[in-house]
Structure 1
């Protein structure tokens, strides 16, 4: 692991690894559950020392180094009453989340993170540093907006910021399972009710104090508490068993879901790395998978997914920290951009679904991955966009968010009609396929990612 302190050092590492054909990967926030941030027997380029953020309040442009976390941007921008469309988790890497697309609570107003990306400074496979934007190397700029991890190291990124001079209403709620029909009923009205200023997530989790799964809800309203409580009144009227909502400063918003953490803690190391004692736990084994749903959602289907997830949690108590969420964010701004305008190929009339499974026993790896894959495949095939009679990849996109996709899915399912162009650009900018740990765009028949 090489923990660099400058662009020049990072460029040297990339060039060295490429010249000697050494397995290589980049670690920004280190949030990946697929092994994309590590490599056994190779080199990890660690950007965690490169977290500087600069805010220009006049131009409303925020620049961040490649190792920055979203918390770094949120805190810096709010000092100038600004915000940037970013991740709904503030402790993950800016570059990784952005290059795959980048959904955030502000997506309903301003689109994806890549839709607000102005330029990026990339270290390419030969170690050269290139500034890419709509005006400079636009073909590469097209590619990095949705598949950037496959083309280089984003050592610096610049975003369009937006005025955010007021707090927001947000937080989490917990309901008993018998409230699922009412929550699904509200979900089915969300696309009609929202004006872009709201976000509504719901799903299933098993708190340690309960013997069956509860309905977990996260809400967001970019406005005053009175209006927020009015919008979400159908939920509050049910009577949640836990209510942790309220007015928050914007730089606290993206911390409300940090319970979904996939990293036990981020170590701040000085000097040489340390070796952990063999009896020290280094974190839960985790797997993240995604799918999509279209509304309206059938209540019987939602109930069947709840029952299956609840059954898994009961059968495998060590997996109780797992969670499954239906992420309802307004998608009007997303779908205004055509699917072929950037490499991001999932712009359509649907919403993401995410599952994060966690367990301790290595012997359960295969079983957990199988159970997770089965339940997410059910969601996609029974309630996703692909099951609609008029579905077209060219028109509606793939329905699969690349940052939520596991390595066992075919690459065509992630990038759809954009894949041929991506592969041609891969030949141009990374002909030896140095950057393949995230999703492997290699045109050869061997598309396995090295781990």
Structure 2
């Protein structure tokens, strides 16, 4: 990235272009994961779709590496690239709600918190993730699951349209009728196909939800998880609960006597009638008396942001993930072993339900390949101390390796860790991979958008003559 190229980028866009010699460069290159320290040649803060179009053309003409950053939450840091250009969509954090049509259009840099705030005013919501600072772009393009998934499906099941800047710098709007193959690929195919400058979502009536947190001593992991695996899939889709192993954080709502203790537990969300919340969670006594149980009505955005204070930007992160259609007795053994080895601090394992409404969408309707998965698991090493980076990584990888034989073979694309390689990407997309590669060839034949969990363009060169 020489001075001439940097100046060409500045002339191409309206938003600021920040280079290594500029003040603010270190802040501009920061991402959510403090384990990553990448130094792009330039960070281009795009003010609108026109900036994205111009920047993509300039990057292509100069033959530069390109990364696209929305919220910056990518675990392996796929929103930033050493020496190349990061297109930062953070200035594009606008939301427009149409309460009559029950739709919301969101700028490409929008965060989950932006969407929750805007839609909650109308008593509406979109299924999304569980941390409000998550970027909607990466979340959506990977599929998107969270508290409303059993009731209303994945985020991509509620995506109605998208505005996209393609690899040649052109602009298209895609939906079920316009560029349907590209629209199919965007719904779970990651950032392989273009820069999405806006998303249009279907909204659902969600305002106040019932929130519950139940924890048991980690020594009860086997009994609690054995109960949970049978209990939750049989419940009405109004009840969602993700299973976790954790160190109890030092603060409310947890009582002081369990602060810092290793626990297993479930975080619940109830979208039914609030007077039935107690009945919906009455069964938490079945696997044994909890060490702590809390349940109360709560505005949906408050639930969505509940864990934000525990997970500020800059922590050390390493994660891996897998899909599961069952939790076998042998898997229980592995969970028990690694739960008891949980490092101190913020490291955790979550099993997120992806059944219910998500199962009523056909396997081939979107690029999300595992429609028969019941849980999406993530094994996340998290700690503020860089000296513990290797420890948390080893725990995450060890937990993942122990569960891999009991998994469905692939994982949620947003939970693939750094350096897992092409085989894991192929396993994640399964028999959808070849279709994605054909669509990639059509819309990005030179693989400009490759700083991601990459699907390579289909190779159509003739076989060599024998």
TM-score interval for Structure 1 and Structure 2 normalised by the shorter chain: 0.7 to 0.9
CA contact (8 A) 1:183 1:235 kept: no
| Structure 2 residue 321 is matched with structure 1 residue 290 | yes
Partner of 1:408: 420
**How far is 1:245 from its partner?**
3.2
Q: 1:328 aligns with which of 343, 346, 353?
A: 353
What are the superposed Cα offsets for residues 226-283 of structure 1, whole Å, 9 maximum, x if unpaired?
422212212257443344431111222212333663x52xxxxxxxxxxxxxxxxxx2
Q: 2:99 aligns with which of 53, 57, 60?
A: 57
Q: 2:303 aligns with which of 250, 253, 256?
A: 253
Map residues 178-217 of structure 1 onto 2, 5 A cutoff: 178-207=219-248, 213-217=262-266
Query: What CA distance in whole angstroms lies between the structure 2 residues aligned with 1:170 and 1:5?
Result: 37
**How far is 1:76 from its partner?**
0.8
Map residues 124-203 of structure 1 onto 2, 5 A cutoff: 124-164=166-206, 166-203=207-244
Partner of 1:280: none
Local SS of the residue matching 1:41: coil
CA contact (8 A) 2:208 2:300 kept: yes
Query: What CA distance in whole angstroms lies between the structure 1 residues aligned with 2:342 and 2:211?
Result: 30
Query: What CA distance in whole angstroms lies between the structure 2 residues aligned with 1:97 and 1:20?
Result: 30
Partner of 1:394: none
Query: What CA distance in whole angstroms lies between the structure 2 residues aligned with 1:291 and 1:113?
Result: 18
Query: What CA distance in whole angstroms lies between the structure 1 residues aligned with 2:310 and 2:335?
Result: 20
What are the superposed Cα offsets for residues 19-49 of structure 1, whole Å, 9 maximum, x if unpaired?
1111111111110120201111111111111
Q: 2:150 aligns with which of 92, 105, 108?
A: 108
Cα-Cα RMSD: 2.4
Query: What CA distance in whole angstroms lies between the structure 1 residues aligned with 2:391 and 2:216?
Result: 29
- Structure 1 residues 291 and 116, CA, compared in 2 at 3 Å: closer, same or farther? same
What are the superposed Cα offsets for residues 157-178 of structure 1, whole Å, 9 maximum, x if unpaired?
10111122x4110143332124
Partner of 1:43: 85
Query: What CA distance in whole angstroms lies between the structure 1 residues aligned with 2:220 and 2:351?
Result: 16
Q: 2:364 aligns with which of 322, 340, 345?
A: 340
- Structure 1 residues 432 and 301, CA, compared in 2 at 3 Å: closer, same or farther? closer
CA contact (8 A) 1:2 1:45 kept: yes
What are the superposed Cα offsets for residues 42-75 of structure 1, whole Å, 9 maximum, x if unpaired?
1111111111101111111110001111111111
**How far is 1:345 from its partner?**
1.0
| Structure 2 residue 336 is matched with structure 1 residue 306 | yes
Partner of 2:134: 92
Partner of 2:441: 427
Map residues 365-376 of structure 1 onto 2, 5 A cutoff: 368-376=392-400
Query: What CA distance in whole angstroms lies between the structure 2 residues aligned with 1:312 and 1:253?
Result: 25
Q: Normalising to structure 1: TM-score of the pair?
A: 0.83
Local SS of the residue matching 2:187: helix
CA contact (8 A) 1:167 1:250 kept: yes
Query: What CA distance in whole angstroms lies between the structure 2 residues aligned with 1:336 and 1:259?
Result: 35
Local SS of the residue matching 1:150: coil
Query: What CA distance in whole angstroms lies between the structure 1 residues aligned with 2:342 and 2:285?
Result: 29
**How far is 1:370 from its partner?**
4.1
